Structure 1
Amino acid sequence: MKPFAVLARRDAVYTIDLPKSLATHHMSYVERLSSPLRTEAELPGQPEQPVSEPVKKQSVGEQIETLLASAPHHEESSIAQAERRQMEILDADYKKEPLEEHVPDYLSESEQVDLLKLLTKFEPTVFSGKVGSWKGEPYEIPTKPNLVPYHGKPYPIPHSLLETTKKEIARLEKLKIIAKCERSPWAAPSFIIPKANKTVRTLCDLRRLNAQLDRHPWPLPKINELFRSIPRFVFVTVMDLNMGYYAIHLTLHSPFWEVHLVASTHNISTAPDHFQARIDKLLGDLPFVRCYLDDVLVVTETSFAEHLQQLKVVLLRLEGAGLTVNVKKCKFAAKEANYLGYRMTNEGISSQPEKIQAIQRISPPSNKKELHRFIGLVNYYRDVWPQRAHLPAPLTRLTSKLVPWEWSIEHQTAFDQLKASMQRSTLLHFPDYNLPFEVYTDASSYQLGGVVSQDGKPLAFYSRKLTAAQKNYSVMEQELLSIVEILKEFRTMLFGQRITVFTDHKNLSCSNFTSGRVMRWRLIIEEFGPIIRYIKGAVNTAADALSRLPQTTGHDDGDQECNVLHEQFYPLTHEQLAQAQHEDETLQTALAQKPQLFQSKSFGNYTVLQSKAGQLIIPVVLRSAVMNFYHESLLHPGMNRMFLTMSNAVYWPGIRRAVEAYVRVCATCQKWKRSPKQYGRLPEKIHGRERWTDVAVDEIGPYSYSDEPNAPKLYALTMIKLATHWIEIAPVPDATAKSAAMALDEFWLCRYPRPLRIVHDQGKEFFQEMLESYGVKSKPTTVKTPQANAVLERVHQVIGNMVRTNRLDQQLWTEVLPSVAFAIRATVHTTLCASPAQLVFQRDMIADTVFTAHWATIYSRQQRQTRRENERENRARLNHSYKVGDLVLLLKSIRNLPKLAQPTEGPFPITAVHSNDTLTVDRGNYEETINSRRVKPYFRDQA
């Protein structure tokens, strides 16, 4: 085959499913095997690839890498990274590293020799490049009783990754981490992804196994407390255990032993607990060692010789346990190093610059999932940047399930400020426990703030929002609460130390505590024994900035401009109005041509134009601000009320149309206000003339004859012939699909002529397969649209009344239903002017008299009645013509909706308009077909 060049967009390439490769910027078509430009999960709007069960406790370094890799990036950066990631996943390489290459150059020659001598001593064991084998008892995975094995289907492997996958499987088998087996009741799908260094990482989807494990939690160190426990060091060594989880072997009784998962894996949810417990027992008694899972830190406060001695102790213990170290990820005898995502120096800790740079490249999220990832990422570094409670607040509110997704200017501003604040992250110094601690606290009406420092150097920041109840505290209580909160937050660092608390609330410097709440707080404070000193607010700048972040700009009360149009806050001053009127060419032209329509009025040094009725003339540039002020301050009035209110004070040509247009596109009004008129008119319904062609089916219940919680729930399946209203009511034991299908088959399909169509709701009780087997066309109604099955909805009301009047508590459910069915069949229908029995059997069920049906008259009467009902319903409805691309709001059912809850969802774009009065809307993760009467149009501001 001759090579050929193709120019195509990546998204288009995915659409036509062509093979592709970026290696040579050409595409080769050979047996439809390819290496993708981007995975479908990385394309906008595409589903994500299957991932393994997220482990609650994993290496912090892995957490940071995962967050950065999964965060939304700018398009060009994202594409480039995706191309490189997909084009090559390198084979795992755990060969023995030359130790001399990892001896730092800044050490003296003698120090380099001594360090290399120590490392070489452990080269055959700890630095062998092999996977360790942890000596001791093998790990038995704790399972819940009645463990049920599962055998999952394998995930398909891309051809471009097939060879790498085979090599990795062979490597793991050679290392005796896995082993081949013939048969097993257990199987889980696996796949590979690239690590940060592009080498292969194997993941196993163990979600089904993890759901059956009986976890015994072991406390992992808190990252912030771990760093606070680190003293100011001279040398530090960072080591990463080589494939640490694989070093732990499983017992013969563990699940997956039968498939020869010989060693533990990080995909097992209980593995981090067990690993941390083992590493704590191995190294936890050494005061110069910090361990977080497989990341080991050796810290020395004194000399290089002391550091070598401490490092030797750690290496001896690792050797005795049978563990090995990945030299590539180690840093020996360093002056500064990266640990758990932070940058450590002998001065303190700060965020890693490369991580912050990666955060700066993140583009705004497009959905809540991406926003959760971004907040999780920045929150990891929250300890090294101040203002951590205020800045993310708008973003945090948007993640709530009760708040619909709508990315506004407020969110974009918070997003940008948050990234900018992280660029200015502060170096947090290590605490010196030989020196006293200084705690600066402050509180505002909405937030607490504080700083812990020594000699003016910050050790930790703290800020958080006040709860609704705490906002009602007195000023003194809020100030005292800020002291209590910061002492509790940094208890492990401050307890038992010399502490001076500085506050700008003078009353706190004395002991005049009275209320019960304040007395309890006083007892907490006295545990720490601090000295409380008063400091002027102008001096307490650090804590004050954390609690009083700028909300709006303006003058101080003493300098505030008083020349406003009304005593209350108004969107403009007389100066602004006079200047805008003078610069409005249209207004000046009208003034020159018809001066008799205007009058002037002086306000201090400014003269403004008014109408003859005394209304202020608003020029074009100020109209939007004035309408926004009235609409927001009057709590979103309707068009007429807002116009009448505004016309008392202001005027411009076309003000009514402007107000109507403004209110019409107000997002808050559209989403939150309930309108007396709904959209979507009922279409004209044509009644069929065939008597057995259409049957409606629905479930009724649950009924109960008692208010007791354990009273039995009673269900029935109702079936009605639409032409004659002949009904069958079948008792069913529950609302399951099996019960409904059996009742429909027994009570209708086996008794009467087979219908052509069955109308039903979209409940789970109806089997499409059963209807297809009978050759019956399924006609489901749209979700939450009872009008689509209106006949049965009305019959259900009648049945309920009959059951209640029949005293259900004195009769069995199965005895009541035949009586109800007889009553409905024998009773004359007001529209049909005949009973269902008369229409079906041509005889009366009670008097046994002959009845002759005049079907033409009956159909005509049905059609007239339906038309009258439609007209009555449509008088309260608004007509609207939808088209693809329009936005709509989905109306929530108000039956169980709280009165103050938002009555709509959305807006959602329309992707299809159907002839049966239904719409298909894109709800983000899926599309849904909805009756047009369950939505209302969402009007966008076209300005």
Structure 2
Amino acid sequence: MGQGELEELRRQIDDMIDRGWIRPSESEFGAPVLFVLKKGGKLRMCIDYRGLNRITRKNAYPLPHIDDLLDAAGGCKVFSKIDLKSGYHQIEVDPSDQHKTAFKTRDGLYEFIVMPFGLTNAPATFQSLMDKVLRHQLNRFVVVYLDDILIFSKSMEEHVKHLEEVLQVLKDAQLHLNLEKYEFGRDNIIYLGHQLSVTGLEPKATKVEVIRNWPQPANVRELRSFLGLASYYQKFVPKFSVIAHPLSRLTSKNVAYAWCEKCETVFQALKEALVSHPVLRIADPNLTFVVTTDASQFGIGAVLQQDDGDGLCPLEYYSKRMPSHKVATSTYARKLYALREALTHWKQYLLGRHFKVYSDHQTLRWIKTQIDLSPTLTRWLHDIDVFDFELKHKKGCYNRVADALSRHPEYLTCLVDSYDLYRKLKEDLIEHIAKDPDLGPILEQLKADPNSQPDFHECDGLVFRRYGKFDRLCVPNHAPLRTHFLDLAHGRSGHFVFEKTYGSLLQQFNWPGMKGSAQKFIAEYQVCQRTKVHRHKPYGLLRPLPIPDGPGESVSIDFTDMGKVSTAGNSQVMVIVDCFSKFMNLIPLPPHAPAELVIEEFHQQYILQYGPPKTLDLHKVKGLYNNSIHSAAGVTPNQLQYGWPMRNPLSYLFSERSPGLMPDMPGYNAKYARLLKAVTAAMNKCQHAMIKHANKMRREEKFKVGDYVWVKMSEFSDEEGVSRKLLPLYYGPWQILKVIGDDFGPSYVIDVPPHLRTYPVFHASKLFPHIDDETFPFRDPMIPRPIDGGHEIDRTVSHEGRGRNKQYKVHFLYHPLNEFFWIDRKELLNSAPRVVNAYERQIADGQTAKFAAKLTPFGLNNTLLLIYAYDAFCTDSD
């Protein structure tokens, strides 16, 4: 700092110490000090609290919106403005936090006792205090923005009372005023950069003069500075964004800065438009709002107006650049975009009340007749649907504020039917509310006496229920209407979870049982069933096979691919394990062993045939396993199978471990029976512990033959060229044809279309129950829009005719289960050859469209069918 700044610093510190604002400190904090030159040439001391602000927990208390403050003064004629003296310094900092405000100077370290400028939470803290002090007067005849207080009234007599009340409240709160910055009893006043008067609202004259005298920008930085100041008052200028488009384009990164004659013309025109602004009226909530929109390839323009008896007067202008070239080149898209943006921008005025819209309503009529709209247009139309307005057409020659653009003639042929937006829906609501047994009497009472039902009110034949600050539309007991509103809240709003869907409904609608309706609507929504992750325990409780009474009664079989082929041509191993003793046998098999060979080897039971030991040493593997102690039995499989442990070279070093009774010795049978009993108890204990642990994360399945289920997409091979992220999580729904196995391990045969080429038996954990949407028959079809112009065929059901006249009855994927189509064979063969070939191959093999339990050919990795095949083999042999 220079000598002058040091002297000023000492003077200000001494002054703040005398006032009791700061004191010397010994804090571990220390923010730097700097000076900023004020308008009058004086220096203002500023403290750099950026480091402290980074570690401060933020206060989210909101500051008021300036437009809302200005709207509150609508229709008033007398104004006063009060400013607090050093407002922040009238609030004391909590003693436990005062050391954090410390700042360092050349003369020492000081800390604030009162709230300083520069703290991140200072504005929120001060605004909260002012709102609490003036809570009874706020928005009635007072608005406050930090330390700027505005008092407004409709007459001088009323204003004197308001002023006295406010001053008394401030006195009681011990808040001190700045007598140098007050204005009392004025018919016009400057507040927050705007001039308020009886006639309305206009920008501050000094700010506009700055724009008038602004020199030509020499670079992008100067141009952005000009556009920033001008855009602050864009609501006073019709088509601001359209006028400023050539200048805004120069600020883009990919455009070279080159000031041309056109830029100069636009620059001067924009300055003139800002200087010669119209005076805006302040909104009157008792008058009807009128919105007029316009759109061009450069941007959109709109004006919000009200008729006070002397014609339409502007309240605010709005303009915005087109978001993309795609929107700008589409007449329908830009007109819909203009309406959507205008309604969203002024939703604080328009939401929840009836108003008028002047626009090219032919565009909206055309959009309402289209079935396949783009996701963007659908989303915009949904945003518009929440507003209640009457759409009126205004020709371009009479639309002085927002000229309507000409319509393309070729689109007129798309008009199939035309109706005003909302008319049909509103007519249905009015009709069924009058007929509703609950709402009809309420409507009649409200028409006779609006105060007869304090919780309800009537508007244009509709009944609304009051909930706090919001009014909810009462929906009659009419299935199509309720289904429509449920679909708006869920199906057309992103398919969000129940909490978000129900929250959206609660903001707008009311009917008995709405929560249950929303839950059932979402549960039955086919799109959500097949695409969303289901947060529940997987189906299928663990049910181990029953423990046999002894060795040799039950065996389990599995197959293992060793990954290499031996010199004898074997690569598969059939593993046979006794379910009681866990005794294992291994049988080598060729890579593609036919069913007859497998059955023969299994029929011979424990007759082993080995290949050369160069690649497969089955004796060594079997011996190591059979002589290791099994965790469930507590003894080795050999000991349990034969009654004694197998000897090894170290057995005779321990005489107590030498074999005891042999099978032919007396007492062997009793000893072996005791061993079996002990092992059975140990295995039961181990099995119950395993079941208890596994079933903690599972749930019991409730599937039965005839039910329709979804099958996990992971059970099918990937589609060529399609990412798994773009596919649904479940395929189907398909019918359950048969339960495989018994109660100890249910799997299910599913009626999977044959062209999918997958084995149709699935465990319960891979299935999810299909919930039919029969509760909401008026729901819109949930058929996804085809990506490549066609719908995917699910299956072929039957056929009729021969030769050229042959037709197939097919079901399309995602279509209702009872919806079928007849298609010529030639046409079907061109579009879906795999479906046709799979069905015809099925017919040629003597099968129906249902799954036939044919045993051959089958893969070696399926033990269950092998056992069925073996049983059949044994029956035939007998």
TM-score bin (small chain): 0.3 to 0.5
TM-score between both structures, scaled by the size of structure 1: 0.39
**Higher relative contact order, structure no. (Cα contacts within 8 Å, ≥ 6 residues apart):** 1
TM-score between both structures, scaled by the size of structure 2: 0.41
